Amino acid sequence: MKKRKTVCALALALTTLFAAGSPADIQAAGSHDMYRVYNPNSGEHFYTAYQRELYNLIAHGWQYEGVGWNAPDEGWYVYRLYNPNAGDHHYTMDVNECNMLIDKGWKYEGVGWASPSLGWEDPEKAEGVPVYRLYNPYAATATHHYTKDAQEANKLIDLGWKYEGIGWYAVR
C-alpha cells in the first residue's frame, strides 16, 4: 500500500510539474519538446524528446529544468552518443565527429532529434533558432553544454567555458 501511495504521489507531482507550462512551452506544428534535465552529481545536462526517459531520470535524482527547445519532427540529424567511461552524453550534427568518438569508445545511441538547418550554416540564412554549443576545458565530465539562451551561453563564457559555435537549430 505504501509503495502505491509513493508511486501515485510521484505521478501527481510530475503531472503538476508538466501541466504548469507557460505559453512559451507550446509546441510549434510538426515539432516536439526537447526536455532538459540536470544531474547534480555529475554536472551533466541531458536532453531527450522521450517523456518515459525523462521520468526515469527524474526518478533517479535528475532535476527537471524545463523544455530546452522545440525540435522539428523532420530535418537534419543530431546524433546522440554516450561515454561509458565518463558517464556523459554528447550531441553533434557532424558525422566525422560522431565517427571519431565511436572510434574512441563512445557508444552511438542513434539520432536524438532533428534540426531545420545545419549547425554550420550561415545564421543569416539558416532556419530556426540557434542552439549554442559550449565546452568546459576544466571539467573531466559534463564538458559540453547546449542552450538556445544567449544569456546563459554568455554567462558560461564569462565563467571560462569556450564557445564552439552553433550546434544545431531549434524550431523555437
In this predicted model, what pLDDT tens digit does every residue of 93-132 receive, in sequence order?
999 999 999 999 999 999 999 999 999 999 999 999 999 9
Domain membership of residue 23 (yes or no) is: no
Q: How many domains does one find in the chain? A: 1
Q: Is residue 44 part of a domain?
A: yes
Q: Give the structural domain span for 111.
A: 2-18+29-170
Q: Among 145, 146, 171, which Cα is nearest to 71's?
A: 171
In a domain, 24, yes or no: no
Closest CA to 171 of 74, 102, 105: 74
| % pLDDT > 70, the chain | 83
Give this prediction's pTM. 0.82
